[in-house]
């Protein structure tokens, strides 16, 4: 019997539903909440597949996942790339793939540790803030180059607000990103680098209303626009090697879908935010994914972005 382990935090509706989905199919695969003690290198976790939805917060799981992958476990998503990935690189990757992204600039950290002196920073030049602000425009978004859940993200409308947000960031590595004036906003749930569920999503609403009430605040997507969004979402997830992700697009008044956020390798899949139809779809697709992964001994390609420029 093949075994799938789920690694989760406080969420319950999605992991419980996925376990029930897999176990109810009688496909020679059993799913459960993964359990670990003090993991020995000569006794790697005994799972054929591990679905990782928490190691970004519980970092002691990260070396366990890497050891499991070393010993043949399929990890969703790849633990080596997930730790290395960042939003600034992803914006550059999107540009390289022909996916529209806002103008994005990486900033030197506002603060450094006590072991870093002026001599340690000889490669850095002073930021020409006037030129930078003129290039990006205001309002803009100050955000960390790594992270999620809107932590440490600030919409800055004025120069004083920009500097206040920058200095609050401390030792974080921040980037400044152009604001897209959008008329429609969509979030794509992508599973297995093949299946895409496009949903209107309104970031102005409360967390539990962004999916279910978005259709009340914006018009539906045209067929052509939805087709382009699906293609762009697949380009990004295939290049990044993510089998479980969400990709957000802000659609401007002239119909251009700008990829805003697509480093969501442990996306919100709770029924209370997705609504019943989206939730049922993702549970079925994730069930297919983990069963196929457990039964397929061939390793999956990690990511395609490394082929760019060859």
Query: Which CATH number belongs to the domain containing residue 79 in this structure?
Result: 3.40.50.20
Dihedral angle of Cα 124, 106, 85, 179, to the nearest 10 degrees:
180
Domain presence at residue 206: yes
Above 70 in pLDDT, residue 310? no
Pairing of strands 140-144, 154-156: antiparallel
CATH code assigned at 111:
3.30.1490.20
Domain presence at residue 149: yes
- Domain hosting residue 217, numbered range: 182-275
Alpha carbon distance 94, 88 (integer Å)? 10
* Domain final position from 143, 160, 178: 178
Q: What is the pLDDT of residue 299?
A: 63
Above 90 in pLDDT, residue 139? yes
Q: What is the pLDDT of residue 303?
A: 75
Above 80 in pLDDT, residue 301? no
Q: What is the pLDDT of residue 298?
A: 67
Beta-carbon-side half-sphere exposure of residue 1 (alpha carbons within 13 Å): 10
**From the CB of residue 42, how many other CB atoms can be counted at a distance below 10 Å?**
6
pLDDT tens digits, residue range 242-279?
999 999 999 999 999 999 999 999 999 999 999 999 99
* Domain final position from 149, 178, 207: 178
53 and 28 housed in the same domain: yes
Domain presence at residue 45: yes
166 and 193 housed in the same domain: no
Above 60 in pLDDT, residue 112? yes
186 and 174 housed in the same domain: no
Which value, in Å, is the radius of gyration of the alpha carbons in the chain? Answer: 21
């Amino acid at each position: 019997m093949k075994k799938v382990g789920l690694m989760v935090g406080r969420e319950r509706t999605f992991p419980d539903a996925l376990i029930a989905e897999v176990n109810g199919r009688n496909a020679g695969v059993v799913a459960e909440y993964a359990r670990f003690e003090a993991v020995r290198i000569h006794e790697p976790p005994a799972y054929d597949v591990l679905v990782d939805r928490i190691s970004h917060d519980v970092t002691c799981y990260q070396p366990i996942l890497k050891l499991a992958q070393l010993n043949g476990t399929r990890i969703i998503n790849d633990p080596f790339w997930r730790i290395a990935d960042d939003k600034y690189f992803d914006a550059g990757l999107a540009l390289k793939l022909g996916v529209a992204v806002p103008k994005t600039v990486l900033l030197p950290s506002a603060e450094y540790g006590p072991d870093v002196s002026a001599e340690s920073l000889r490669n850095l030049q002073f930021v020409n803030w006037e030129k930078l602000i003129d290039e990006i425009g205001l309002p803009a978004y100050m955000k960390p180059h790594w992270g999620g859940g809107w932590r440490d993200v600030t919409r800055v409308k004025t120069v004083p607000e920009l500097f206040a947000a920058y200095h609050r960031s401390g030792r974080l590595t921040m980037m400044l990103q152009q604001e897209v004036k959008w008329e429609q906003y969509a979030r794509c749930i992508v599973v297995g680098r093949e299946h895409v569920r496009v949903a209107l999503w309104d970031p102005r609403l409360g967390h539990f209303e962004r999916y279910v009430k978005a259709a009340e605040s914006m018009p539906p997507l045209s067929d052509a626009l939805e087709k382009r969004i699906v293609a762009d979402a697949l380009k990004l997830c295939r290049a990044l090697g993510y089998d479980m992700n969400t990709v957000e697009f802000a659609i401007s008044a002239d119909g251009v879908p700008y990829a805003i956020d697509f480093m969501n390798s442990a996306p919100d899949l709770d029924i209370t935010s997705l609504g019943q139809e989206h939730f049922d779809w993702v549970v079925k697709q994730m069930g297919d994914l983990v069963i196929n992964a457990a039964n397929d001994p061939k390793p999956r390609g990690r990511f395609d972005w490394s082929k760019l420029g060859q």
